[in-house]
A and B are shown apart, each in its own frame.
Chain A
Amino acid sequence: MTAVLEARGLGKRYGRRWALSDCTLEIPSGHVVGLVGPNGAGKSTLLNLAVGLLAPTTGSLTVLGGVPAEGPTQLGRIGFVAQDTPTFSGLSVADHLELGARLNPGWDRAVAAQRITQLGLDPAQRAGKLSGGQRAQLALTLAVAKRPEFLILDEPVASLDPLARREFLQILMETVAEHGVSVVLSSHLVADLERVCDYLIVIVASRVQIAGPVDELLASHRRLIGARREPGTLPGNQEVIEASHTDRQSTLLIRTDAPILDPAWTVEEIGLEDLVLAYMGQAAAADRGRPATLGVVK
């Protein structure tokens, strides 16, 4: 597995506040990678570092084997849709395509024109008059038509209504299928990513909690429900991610690659959202300084 992005001990400090600290992660190529984490986890900082809008305070970062924003070539290999999808409000849709064409040697006029037609955007319309969804689509068009090898989207759908959200992700998927680019998109909502991602990275407070292909993650996690027992009594190949207990019953979320043989448990498959929430909860609990396994819900 080759990595399109490799961070080692990456940190970014603003004044006294660390927006990202000691972050080590790899984003594999050929995937649509979802980068999930709560607000303030450092997702946006990481992606802005990846496109060179920010410079790291500590650590190293290579994207497609190069230093971010090192030169026009490196910049041309990466498509970026920034948070809140900024566009020039005084410029028309056609102007945006023109600026894309003039600022990017690899610009694909056919792709850009076709996407605008497909979206039903009026080329003469000023970007300031577009809806949030249309603006996001325009920003995506700019990022895609430069024909990048790696597409980075920073919370692209956060400000969109559910319908625009679905449309945006739909078109993103078509683009990925057509051009075969590696993609990473961040969100604090798993639901946004569930439909489009085939690889997931959960990041909490700059730390990668878990990373892997979505199907493998789903296959290796199970929810166990049964009579109350301490998590410590489980077999060694079952790692407890989240546990909650009532007086008589225990509900455990475990990670294991082996089948679960104990007939005392009712075994359930879990969804991506529950899985991500479990890992975020585990990180939050660890942050508060007490083991997650002793949490009791009455």
Chain B
Amino acid sequence: MIWLAWRQFRTQVLVVAGVLAAIAVVLLLTGPHLVSLSDAYLKLCHADRDCGSTTNPVVNTDGTIESGFSDLLLLAPALIGIFWGAPLVARELETGTYRLGWTQSITRRRWLAVKLGVVGLVSVAVAGLLSLMVTWWSSPIDTANANRFGGAMFALRDITPMGYAAFAFALGVTAGVLMRRTLPAMASTLVVFVAARVAETDWVRPYLMPPVRADMALTPGNGIGFSLTPTGLQMVTNPPTIANGWGLSSELVNNSGHAPTTAFLKSACPSIANVAPAGPVVGRARIHVRVAGGPPQQAFQDCIAKVAAKYHEVVTYQPASRFWAFQGIETAIFIALGLLLVGLCFWWVRHRLA
């Protein structure tokens, strides 16, 4: 049966192997250049003892390759689910060839197990290889960016793509088994996979482990602004950049835990507060006052200094040391979901496709 599963799948594997090889060539040709570029920069800035105020040039080099392969890695699990998962059983049901397979001297359970095993393992391997190549190639950039934990980067590095691929593949097969038609199965695989990934990223991943809380001084860094809410004027801060960590939230409070009042902000930052439009605010709408190009730079600096004298930021974040724990948990979650779907497939093929 392994022979048959491989024989049916062979051409596609060869095509994908070719694509992976081409990607490897591009990455191998351009990768070493990034490493030397980064090393040269770090040598220089370490000599000047000033690596903080300038940007490592690797960040802006080969941006096309970086975003291209990141997109590919983002899409790869979905493509695997759509083109390898969904047709795996659905195509056999559609063309009637399952009647050929299921009447050889081999049980249906073994037929499905081998197909799932062969194509599933190749799927995970393809995602793993692609991730390995992209992770290796972009390591100088990730080091310079110091944010491989946060947002999209986390999902496009190391082992998480394998978990996504396993889940997407199982999802595709399940959709095919339940719907018995290839095209609807492909479409629903895409929809459900994207929904699952978005839901996990926004609602689950930040809370996989309780975030760390830290008090930090307010500095005129990035992400400070004002917002007009029904309750009055608020100063909005974003989590500061924490080396390799993942900032989740940030709140401005004084020592007794209260946020700055509208009156205080108006007195501390008169020129900025006056820019904010007057009048009622409907619902929960927030009007952001853009600082850049707004009041003069000096007035802004003064405002921050006055606020910082009485208030500080309370930041929650996931520290860099948890990167591998998060990678492991996230991968395990998707593999577990995939295994649940595989179990459903076996049950359905045994009891409902009869």
A interface list, Cβ under 8 A from B: 48, 51-55, 69, 71-73, 75-76, 78, 80, 82-84, 86-91, 95, 98-100, 102-106, 139, 142, 146
By Cβ-Cβ distance, the 6 closest A-B pairs, closest first, are A76-B105, A103-B104, A86-B96, A55-B354, A82-B99, A80-B103
A86 and B99 form a contact (CB under 8 A): yes
Proximity string of chain B (147-169) to chain A, C-beta cutoff 8 Å, 1 when within and 0 when not: 00000000000000000000000
A102 close to B1 (CB less than 8 A): yes
* 20 A-B contacts (beta carbon < 8 Å): A51-B103, A52-B102, A53-B103, A69-B103, A69-B108, A71-B107, A75-B106, A80-B103, A84-B96, A86-B99, A87-B100, A88-B97, A95-B7, A99-B104, A100-B104, A102-B1, A102-B4, A103-B1, A106-B105, A146-B104
Q: Are B105 and A75 in contact (CB under 8 A)?
A: yes
How many Å from the CB of B205 to the closest CB on chain A? Answer: 41
**B103 x A75 contact (CB < 8 A):** yes
Q: A82-B99, A86-B100, A102-B4 are in contact. List 10 more A-B contacts (CB 8 A).
A: A75-B105, A75-B106, A82-B96, A83-B96, A90-B11, A91-B7, A100-B104, A102-B3, A139-B100, A146-B105
The distance in angstroms between the C-alpha atoms of A54 and B107, with both chains bound, is 14
B8 contacts partner chain A, Cβ-Cβ < 8 Å:
yes
Residue of A nearest to B100 (CB): A86
CB within 8 Å of A: which B1-20 residues: 1, 3-4, 7-8, 11
- From residue 317 to 354 of chain B, which have CB atoms closer than 8 A to chain A? 351, 354
Q: For the complex, give the distance between the alpha carbons of A99 and B108 in Å.
A: 15
Q: Is the Cβ of B104 less than 8 Å from the Cβ of A104?
A: yes
Contact among B4, B11, B96 for A99, CB-based, below 8 A = B4
Residue of A nearest to B351 (CB): A55
Question: Which residues from 199 to 224 on chain B have a C-beta closer than 8 Å to any C-beta of chain A?
Answer: none
Residue in B closest to A82 when the chains form the complex, CB atoms: B99
What residues on A are CB-neighbors of B8 within 8 Å? 88, 90-91
The distance in angstroms between the C-alpha atoms of A146 and B106, with both chains bound, is: 12
B contacts, CB < 8 Å to A: 1, 3-4, 7-8, 11, 95-97, 99-100, 102-108, 351, 354
Please indicate the chain B residues that have their CB under 8 angstroms from the CB of A53 in the complex: 99, 102-103, 354
Selected from B7, B100, B105, B354, the residue in CB contact (under 8 A) with A54 is: B354
Could you tell me the dominant secondary structure of chain A's interface residues? Answer: loop
Q: Which residue of chain B has its CB nearest to the CB of A51?
A: B103
Q: How far is the CA of A89 from the CA of B99 in the complex (A)?
A: 14
Chain B residues with CB under 8 A of A100: 104
Most A-side CB within 10 Å, residue of B3, B96, B103, B106: B103
A161–B115 alpha-carbon span in the complex (Å):
36
Contacts of B95 in A (CB 8 A): 86, 89
CB neighbours of A51 from chain B (8 A): 103
Give A100 Cβ to nearest chain B Cβ, in Å: 7
Residues of A within 8 A of B100 (CB): 82, 86-88, 139, 142
Q: How far is the CB of A278 from chain B (nearest CB, A)?
A: 34
B213 to chain A, nearest CB (A): 57
User: How far, in whole Å, are A82 and B96 apart by their CA atoms in the complex?
Assistant: 9
The chain B residue sitting closest to A106, CB to CB, is B105
Query: Assuming the A-B contacts A55-B354, A95-B7, A98-B3, are A103 and B96 also in contact, with contact meaning beta carbons closer than 8 angstroms in the complex?
Result: no
Contacts of B103 in A (CB 8 A): 51-53, 69, 75, 78, 80, 82
Please give, as numbers and ranges, the residues of chain A lying within 8 Å of B107 by CB-CB distance: 69, 71-72, 75
CA distance in complex: A73, B106 (Å): 8
In whole angstroms, how far apart are the Cα atoms of A85 and B8 in the complex? 18
The answer to whether B106 touches A103 (Cβ under 8 A) is yes
Distance (whole angstroms) from the CB of A97 to the closest CB of chain B:
12
User: In the docked arrangement, what's the CA distance between A100 and B105, Å?
Assistant: 9
Residues of B close to A106: CB separation below 8 A: 105
With both chains docked as a complex, state the minimum distance between the C-beta of A288 and any C-beta of chain B, in angstroms: 34
Q: How far is the CA of A104 from the CA of B11 in the complex (A)?
A: 25
A128 CB to closest chain B CB (Å) equals 10
Q: Which residues of B contact A98 (CB under 8 A)?
A: 3, 7
A104 vs B106: C-alpha distance in the bound complex, in angstroms?
A: 8
CB neighbours (8 Å) of A69 from chain B are: 102-103, 107-108
Closest CB of chain A to B345's CB: distance in Å? Answer: 17
Contacts of A71 in B (CB 8 A): 107
Of B3, B97, B105, most A-chain CB atoms within 10 Å: B105
Which residues of the partner chain A approach B102 to less than 8 Å between Cβ atoms?
Answer: 52-53, 69
List the B side residues contacting A78 at CB < 8 Å.
103
Instruction: Tell me the bound Cα distance from A78 to B103 in angstroms.
Output: 8
B152 to chain A, nearest CB (A): 37
Nearest CB of chain B from residue A255's CB, rounded to whole Å: 37
- Within the complex, the shortest CB–CB distance from A48 to chain B, in Å, comes to 8
B87 → A minimal CB distance (Å): 12
Closest to B101 in A: A103
* B108 contact set on A, CB distance < 8 A: 69
A13 to chain B, nearest CB (A): 12
B354 near A99: Cβ-Cβ < 8 Å: no
Give the shortest distance, in Å, between A78 (CB) and chain B (any CB). 7
How distant is the Cα of A110 from the Cα of B1 in the complex, in angstroms? 21
Provide the residues of chain B in CB contact with A99, threshold 8 Å: 3-4, 7, 104
